[in-house]
Amino acid sequence: MATAPSFTPLPPLQGSARLWGTIALSLATFMNVLDSSIANVSLPAIAGDLGVSANQGTWVITSFGVANAIALPLTGWLSQRFGQVRLFVTSVLLFVLASWLCGLAPNMTTLIIFRALQGFVAGPMIPLSQGLLLSSYPPALAGLAMALWAMTTLVAPVVGPLLGGWITDNIYWSWIFYINIPIGLLAAFMVWTIYHKRESVIHKLPIDGVGLGLLVLWVGALQIMLDKGKELDWFHSPEVTALGLVSLVGFAFFLAWELTEKHPVVDLRLFKRRNFWSGTLAIAIGYGLFFGNVVLLPLWLQQFMGYPSTDAGMLLAPVGLFAIILSPVVGKNIGKVDPRCLASFAFLVFAVVLIMRSHFNTQADFGTIMIPTLLQGVGMAFFFIPLSVILLAGITPDKIPAASGLSSFVRIVAGSFGTSIATTVWQDRAAMHHAQLAESVNQGNAAATQMLAGLGSVGLSPEQALAQVNRLVDQQAYMLAANDVFYVSAIIFLMLIPFVWLSRPKMPSSGTGGGAASADAAAGAH
């Protein structure tokens, strides 16, 4: 049986090599995260051009998400077998190829296949970029490295919809994929030039075919269930029920197999580490809440507040402002402050933001909506970095890609859950509020009678007047439902604060200026 080779951390990069390495890795990460959101606003144009329904068009998003979710936990095994640098550069180049093929796709079936390929090869890029970046910095600057990495993952989801909308409106939807080609080629060239002599030790592990097959089965079924659940009315649909059962049974067999396999394709033993499981669960639940509300807000603005997609995007764009400004500050000081305090502060800020949004009404103006969005950026700056430091604390060099890939996988699945739950609860609560509000629209309600009379006086028929009132009731019902979701999400964020304190990251001794968690994470990159 092969045994894992010993790992010796490489010295950090110096001067311009570190600067250009950071830029190259950031470009690749930005391209990856951008592509997960850029296609959303282009779906109507893509579906229309390829002659399919809007529902069929959603497979452009689903196929990418399913393949990406499958590939993420494989990162650790792949990096040990092929080397971190080689795997990263190959992933970037294959991503470029897949992007080109997506742009050339003549029909929806072909596009879905190429998007699935794109999602799969994108899987290793984010965890490996994190590991390579950490290896470029000395332990004392590990927090700064994490901050620089986090900035790209924070900004890209905001830029994606804006850029995708502009390209679709002014050029052609294919260019949302073509723009990856120059960025990817440049990033791959720079990374290989700087890092090819810093390749990790290769350990040719045997292929866990059973584990891989079970992973594909249950993750694929789960992602499709989450994507199609609301459309098919969840477990009232035999299809969704079947997908849920397949996912559940597949997951149970996957756990049993991987925990007993000598060379598992996914190293579930990482969850034995207190810091890893507590940090991963905290970041996953927090991200699920965050992402669910990020999806809900523009839906409400566009569907019931009359905002065009561009204006809705502009309202959401400032979320990255404070995140960009504060992330380097947080990263620089992460070794001086208990990361649990910083993460707790992030959850508190998110709770305050959501409580502010829970008081929105149908008269909310641009400024009222903008202020919580700006504050949300503060929470984002204190969210990813401390929790990433916590979950990577004490991880050995060869386990960094596996740990980062596994935590990213759990986070992304939680994001899918968060989106599905938030939109479903929103619809259900809106139906309840609509029924309650509609009960008051009767002959005995003076305000309702007066409104109907006023609408009749301007020439509307009774049917038209009632339709107008129904639209107003709809608007109010969905506003109240959004308030409900915002408020409950705020409460859950507050409940996460004690959970963060289950972790036990080592703190620096006075005057050292660098946290042990940061140092361990940095050393663990190679």
DSSP state of 334: T
pLDDT score of 232: 76
Pair 22, 46 in one domain: yes
Residue after which a domain boundary falls, among 168, 187, 203: 203
By three-state DSSP, how is residue 390 classified?
helix
DSSP line for 97-122 = HHHHHHHH--SHHHHHHHHHHHHHHH
3-state secondary structure 39-85: CHHHHHHHHHHCCCCHHHHCHHHHHHHHHHHHHHHHHHHHHHHHCHH
Whether 181 maps to a domain, the answer reads yes
pLDDT score of 468: 65
Q: Which two tokens stand for residue 426?
A: 């929103």
**Range in 12-16, 71-75, 466-470 the model is least confident about:** 466-470
Pair 245, 286 in one domain: no
pLDDT score of 464: 64
Residue listed under structure tokens 């401390």: 386
Span 213-235, pLDDT tens digits: 888 888 888 877 877 777 777 77
Pair 363, 403 in one domain: yes
pLDDT score of 219: 80
**In this structure, what CATH number is given to the domain that contains residue 288?**
1.20.1250.20
Range of the structural domain that residue 340 is part of? 270-426+486-526
Whether 3 maps to a domain, the answer reads no
Residue 166 pLDDT exceeds 70: yes
Residue 253 pLDDT exceeds 80: yes
Closest of 102, 31, 117 to residue 66, by C-alpha: 117
C-alpha to C-alpha distance for 479 and 192, rounded to whole angstroms: 51
Pair 82, 192 in one domain: yes
DSSP state of 8: -
Q: What would the mean pLDDT of 168-183 be, rounded to a whole number?
A: 83
Residue 167 pLDDT exceeds 90: no
CA distances from 9 to 12, 136, 190, 466 (A): 9, 11, 22, 72
Q: How many CA atoms lie within 13 A of 3 on its CB side?
A: 3
Whether 180 maps to a domain, the answer reads yes
Other C-beta atoms closer than 10 Å to the C-beta of 227 total 20
Q: What would the mean pLDDT of 129-147 be, rounded to a whole number?
A: 75
Biggest CA–CA distance in the chain, Å, is: 87
What is the value of pTM for the model shown? 0.75
As for how many domains the chain has, the answer is 4
Residue 56 pLDDT exceeds 50: yes
pLDDT score of 441: 63
Pair 110, 181 in one domain: yes
Q: Which two tokens stand for residue 177?
A: 């994929």
Residue after which a domain boundary falls, among 216, 242, 264: 264
| Percent above pLDDT 70 for the chain | 80
C-alpha to C-alpha distance for 112 and 288, rounded to whole angstroms: 25
Highest mean pLDDT among 73-77, 96-100, 386-390, 420-424 belongs to 96-100
pLDDT band at 279 (very low <50, low <70, confident <90, very high): confident
Whether 1 maps to a domain, the answer reads no
Mean pLDDT, the chain, rounded, equals: 77
The one-letter amino acid code at 183 reads: I
Residue 507 pLDDT exceeds 60: no
Other C-beta atoms closer than 10 Å to the C-beta of 471 total 11
Residue 522 pLDDT exceeds 60: no
Pair 283, 416 in one domain: yes
Phi-psi region of 306 (alpha: psi -120 to 50; beta: other; left: phi over 0): left
Pair 474, 498 in one domain: no
Q: Which two tokens stand for residue 312?
A: 């809705």
CA 15 to chain centre: 32
Pair 317, 422 in one domain: yes
DSSP state of 266: S
CA distances from 476 to 132, 365, 471 (A): 50, 15, 9
| Percent above pLDDT 90 for the chain | 10
Whether 461 maps to a domain, the answer reads yes
Pair 435, 422 in one domain: no
Whether 420 maps to a domain, the answer reads yes
pLDDT score of 8: 60
DSSP state of 370: H
- Which of residues 75 and 313 earns the better pLDDT score? 75
Whether 248 maps to a domain, the answer reads yes
Closest of 369, 324, 372, 330 to residue 349, by C-alpha: 372
Residue 494 pLDDT exceeds 90: yes
Q: What would the mean pLDDT of 480-496 be, rounded to a whole number?
A: 92
The one-letter amino acid code at 22 reads: T
CA distances from 507 to 123, 304, 498, 516, 520 (A): 32, 49, 18, 6, 12
∠ Cα 288 117 100 (to 5°) = 110
Closest of 193, 192, 160, 194 to residue 179, by C-alpha: 160
Pair 38, 147 in one domain: yes
Query: Which ranges constitute the DSSP H helices of 175-235?
Result: 175-178, 180-195, 209-228
By three-state DSSP, how is residue 239 classified?
helix
**Range in 10-24, 248-262, 309-323 the model is least confident about:** 309-323
C-alpha to C-alpha distance for 159 and 182, rounded to whole angstroms: 18
Whether 360 maps to a domain, the answer reads yes
Residue listed under structure tokens 């709809």: 474
Residue after which a domain boundary falls, among 185, 203, 221: 203
Other C-beta atoms closer than 10 Å to the C-beta of 414 total 22
Pair 359, 290 in one domain: yes
Span 376-399, pLDDT tens digits: 888 888 887 788 888 877 776 667
**Range in 59-73, 143-157, 250-264 the model is least confident about:** 143-157
Closest of 273, 373, 377 to residue 330, by C-alpha: 377
Query: Which ranges constitute the DSSP H helices of 261-338?
Result: 274-304, 309-316, 319-333
Pair 399, 283 in one domain: yes
pLDDT band at 520 (very low <50, low <70, confident <90, very high): very low
C-alpha to C-alpha distance for 183 and 189, rounded to whole angstroms: 10
C-alpha to C-alpha distance for 108 and 114, rounded to whole angstroms: 10
Closest of 398, 397, 405 to residue 522, by C-alpha: 397
